[in-house]
Structure formats: structure tokens, C-alpha cells
């Protein structure tokens, strides 16, 4: 019955979770609003807010789980990838806590954790499965052979899908983070109103920089002709952008599923909260006889519950880290991939 305290601090969410024997008992997420004014995450500010939030987040997670500090068997944390200063706060906290309580440490790869979030739910995918992992920093199709045996079979050559969402929202004058706002406005618009190009990239790789430039020129030209173009057509623009990004992702995922003859297909990462992408994958899965796995909203964007569940499986394997462990800004999902 291991009781695991898990910490996530890789970007701009400070999160703490308690997991008992593979069951998540709490998942506290402190969002940082300070970055809104800057149109993106400011790393130095993120680190400072993590420092303020981490102790209250852990205290709340223990309280919600009705677990005392003395009940904890291991402390887990995100080692990377992420912003180094942000990671450092979580890693230092976990190390200090473990040292004070004489507990083992468990280091977790953030991208593996996004995928392992699927093991929180009752209904779990079977190995091997494919996972489309789409976040602010990553866009990958991952062949998941086992809990910690993952292979990236396709990835973005330039921007991540979340970045494309966030940059589009910036062009539209919407505040950061733009993904959820694109989603909100898309619900009121026609996804077929405007057509943006689909890049022709070989294999299972992606590219979003061409689409981003096409969107930029499209908005610029239309605003030059009509200064109210954005306000008058916000729903249609967001719906069309969302549809193009979702179809780029899903067309590649379909090709990968066919090539690897895999029917268990999962979605992970912050962009998996997107309504159009969730609906698109559900429909594609129904048409192709897939077993589709989409995380609950609270486990899509960054959270410590996914770190806790990943740590539970590492605990069962007896894999622990020592006090010398340091965070890594770059950390591949598997040691074999670049
Ligand atoms: O996984 P995540 O929380 O952080 C990273 O590890 O990057 O992903 C954040 C990304 C941001 O780009 C955000 O705009 C996007 O996920 N996102 C969404 C939605 N919710 C979050 N994009 C589209 N629709 C959403 N509903
Ligand atoms: Zn993430």
C-alpha cells in the first residue's frame, strides 16, 4: 500500500498529489496568472511563483487526501523536460522533504507521465498502444510498449500543436494561454468557413510553422481590408484553425495506427483538452474500430496526479533516485530517441 506524494513544477502550474496504492486521493493545481500580461510564460517569474505555491499546494494535497506527512512512503517529482528554474523548485522541495523524512525519491519524465495518466482511470489501454501527445512544447506519436518503454515514432519538426494554438490566439489579440480560448470561440463558429493548408511531411512527423504563417497572412490581409474582420468572424476563424490543427494531428495518427496495426489509441497532453480534437478522435476511433482513450480534463493539462501514477509503477519496479539527482531541461521520452 505505498503512499506517494508527487510534485509537478515543470512549467507554470505548481501541483501536488497524493496517491495510495495506485489510487489518486488528491490533485491540487495552483495556476499562475502572472504570465497573462506578458503573452507567454516568463521563466524567472514562474520559478518565483512556484516557490510561493509549493508548500501550500503540498499541504492542501495532504489535507484533501486525509494523509499525514508521516504516512508517506516515497516522494516523486518531475525531473524534466521543462523550464530549468521551475523544475529546480519541485526537485529541491522533493529532495528536502525526502531527506527530512528519510524517504526514497522517485524521478519522473513529464512526457511519460502525460501518457501514464491513462492508468489513473478504471478503463486502461493495453500494451502496445499508440499515444498522440500534444502539449505546449511537444507533439509526438508515441508507441507505448510498456510503462517505461516508449518510442517516439513521429514528432513535430518545428512548432508544437499547443504553440500553434497559442500563437494563433496571440495574432487574434486574445490573452495567454490561448488554446482554451480558441476552443471556447470555436464552439460558436463554422469549422469549414476558412481553409488553411495541410503540410505534406513524410512519415509520421508534423510541421506547424507553415500553417502558422498561413494564418498570420490570412488575418493580416483580411484586417487590412476590414479592420473589424477579427471581431466579426472570431468564431469562424477559431473553429477553422482548430479544425485544421486537429485534422493534421488525426490524419497522421490514423496512418500510424494502420502502419503499426494497433487499435488501442490514446490522447495526452494539454491540447487533449481541446473539444474539436477530442470529438475528432472519438469519431475517427468509431469509424476504424479503435479503443479510444481520452483523459479526464483535470489530467490533460499539467498536474501532479499523472506524476503520482507514474511514480506508483516505478515504485512497484523498485526504481528510486538518490539525493544527487538534478533536473533536466531536455529529457527524451526514451533514452534511444534524440
Ligand atoms: O501539457 P500542458 O499543460 O503543458 C505543457 O507541458 O506544455 O499543455 C499546455 C498547452 C498550451 O499550449 C495550451 O494552450 C494548450 O495546452 N491547451 C489547449 C486547451 N487547453 C490547453 N489547446 C487547445 N484547446 C484547449 N482546450
Ligand atoms: Zn505537460
Whether 43 and 71 have beta carbons less than 8 Å apart is answered as no
Strands of the chain, DSSP E:
3-8, 13-20, 23-31, 74-80, 105-109, 129-134, 139-146, 149-155, 264-268, 291-293
Same domain, 9 and 78: yes
Q: Could you tell me if residue 330 is inside a domain?
A: no
pLDDT given at position 335: 66
Same domain, 287 and 305: no
Considering only CA atoms, which of 183, 149, 154 is closest in space to residue 257?
Answer: 154
Whether 270 and 301 have beta carbons less than 8 Å apart is answered as yes
Mean pLDDT score of the chain, rounded to an integer?
Answer: 96
Strands of 52-119, DSSP E:
74-80, 105-109
Instruction: Look up the CATH number of the domain holding residue 194.
Output: 3.30.420.40
Compute the distance between CA of residue 267 and CA of residue 69 in angstroms, rounded to an integer.
Answer: 34
What is the pLDDT averaged over residues 96-103? 98
For ligand 1, atom 11, name the residue with the nearest CA: 136
pLDDT given at position 328: 97
Distance 9 CA to ligand 2 centre (A): 10
Same domain, 92 and 150: no
Give residue 249's domain range.
125-294
Same domain, 91 and 216: no
pLDDT in tens, 10-40: 999 999 999 999 999 999 999 888 888 888 8
Distance 222 CA to ligand 2 centre (A): 34
What are the C-alpha distances in Å from 298 to residues 259, 262, 268, 294?
32, 27, 11, 11
270 lines ligand 1 (CB under 6 A): yes
Query: Count of domains in the chain?
Result: 2
pLDDT in tens, 169-208: 999 999 888 999 999 999 999 999 999 999 999 999 999 9
Same domain, 305 and 290: no
Same domain, 129 and 269: yes
Q: Could you tell me if residue 323 is inside a domain?
A: no
Q: Could you tell me if residue 336 is inside a domain?
A: no
178 lines ligand 1 (CB under 6 A): yes
Compute the distance between CA of residue 92 and CA of residue 51 in angstroms, rounded to an integer.
Answer: 10
Q: Could you tell me if residue 247 is inside a domain?
A: yes
What is the Cβ-side half-sphere exposure of residue 88, based on CA atoms within 13 angstroms? Answer: 9
Q: Is residue 107 marked as binding?
A: no
Same domain, 179 and 54: no
Q: Could you tell me if residue 274 is inside a domain?
A: yes
pLDDT given at position 38: 84
Same domain, 67 and 171: no
Backbone Cα Rg of the chain: 20
Question: Which pLDDT band holds residue 337 (cuts at 50, 70, 90)?
Answer: very low
For ligand 1, atom 20, name the residue with the nearest CA: 180
- Can you read off the three cell numbers belonging to residue 147? 510503462
Same domain, 129 and 69: no
Q: Is residue 274 marked as binding?
A: yes
Same domain, 101 and 211: no
Same domain, 99 and 34: yes
165 lines ligand 1 (CB under 6 A): yes
Share of the chain above pLDDT 70, in %: 99
Q: Could you tell me if residue 207 is inside a domain?
A: yes
Same domain, 71 and 97: yes
Q: Could you tell me if residue 337 is inside a domain?
A: no
pLDDT given at position 103: 98
Distance 139 CA to ligand 2 centre (A): 11
pLDDT reading at 336 higher than 80: no
Q: Could you tell me if residue 120 is inside a domain?
A: no
What is the pLDDT averaged over residues 248-265? 98
Residue 135: partners with Cβ closer than 8 Å, 6 or more residues away: 111, 114, 160, 161, 162, 269, 270, 271
What is the pLDDT averaged over residues 223-238? 98
- The DSSP secondary structure of 207-254, one letter per residue, reads --HHHHHHHHHHHHHHHHH-TTHHHHHHHHHHHHHHHHHHHHHHHHHH
- Can you read off the three cell numbers belonging to residue 204? 509520421
274 lines ligand 1 (CB under 6 A): yes
pLDDT reading at 338 higher than 50: no
135 lines ligand 1 (CB under 6 A): yes
pLDDT reading at 78 higher than 60: yes
Q: Is residue 146 marked as binding?
A: no
15 lines ligand 1 (CB under 6 A): no
Amino acid at each position: 500500500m505505498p503512499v506517494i506524494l508527487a510534485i509537478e513544477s515543470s512549467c507554470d502550474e505548481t501541483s501536488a498529489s497524493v496517491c495510495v496504492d495506485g489510487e489518486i486521493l488528491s490533485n491540487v493545481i495552483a495556476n499562475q496568472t502572472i504570465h497573462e500580461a506578458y503573452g507567454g510564460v516568463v521563466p524567472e517569474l514562474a520559478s518565483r511563483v512556484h516557490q510561493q505555491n509549493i508548500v501550500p499546494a503540498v499541504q492542501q494535497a495532504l489535507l484533501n487526501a486525509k494523509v499525514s506527512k508521516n504516512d508517506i512512503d516515497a516522494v516523486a517529482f518531475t525531473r524534466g523536460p521543462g523550464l530549468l528554474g521551475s523544475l529546480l523548485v519541485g526537485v529541491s522541495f522533493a529532495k528536502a522533504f525526502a531527506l527530512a523524512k528519510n524517504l526514497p525519491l522517485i524521478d519522473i519524465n513529464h512526457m511519460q507521465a502525460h501518457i501514464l495518466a491513462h492508468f489513473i482511470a478504471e478503463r486502461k489501454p493495453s500494451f502496445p498502444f499508440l499515444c498522440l501527445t500534444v502539449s505546449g512544447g511537444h507533439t509526438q506519436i508515441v508507441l507505448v510498449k510498456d510503462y517505461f518503454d516508449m518510442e517516439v515514432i513521429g514528432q513535430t519538426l518545428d512548432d508544437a500543436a499547443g504553440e500553434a494554438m497559442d500563437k494563433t490566439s496571440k495574432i487574434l489579440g486574445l490573452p495567454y494561454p490561448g488554446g482554451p480560448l480558441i476552443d471556447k470561440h470555436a464552439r460558436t463558429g463554422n469549422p469549414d468557413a476558412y481553409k488553411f493548408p495541410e503540410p505534406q511531411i513524410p512519415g509520421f512527423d508534423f510541421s506547424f510553422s507553415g500553417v502558422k504563417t498561413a494564418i498570420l497572412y490570412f488575418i493580416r490581409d483580411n484586417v487590412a481590408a476590414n479592420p473589424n474582420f477579427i471581431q466579426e468572424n472570431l468564431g469562424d476563424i477559431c473553429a477553422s484553425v482548430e479544425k485544421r490543427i486537429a485534422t493534421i494531428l488525426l490524419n497522421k495518427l490514423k496512418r500510424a495506427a494502420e502502419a503499426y496495426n494497433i487499435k488501442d489509441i490514446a490522447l495526452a497532453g494539454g491540447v487533449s483538452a481541446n473539444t474539436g480534437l477530442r470529438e475528432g478522435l472519438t469519431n475517427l476511433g468509431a469509424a476504424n474500430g479503435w479503443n479510444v482513450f481520452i483523459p479526464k480534463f483535470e489530467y490533460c493539462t499539467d498536474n501532479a496526479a499523472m506524476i503520482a501514477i507514474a511514480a506508483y509503477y516505478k515504485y512497484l519496479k523498485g526504481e528510486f533516485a538518490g539525493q544527487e539527482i538534478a533536473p533536466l531541461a531536455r529529457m527524451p521520452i526514451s533514452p534511444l530517441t534524440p
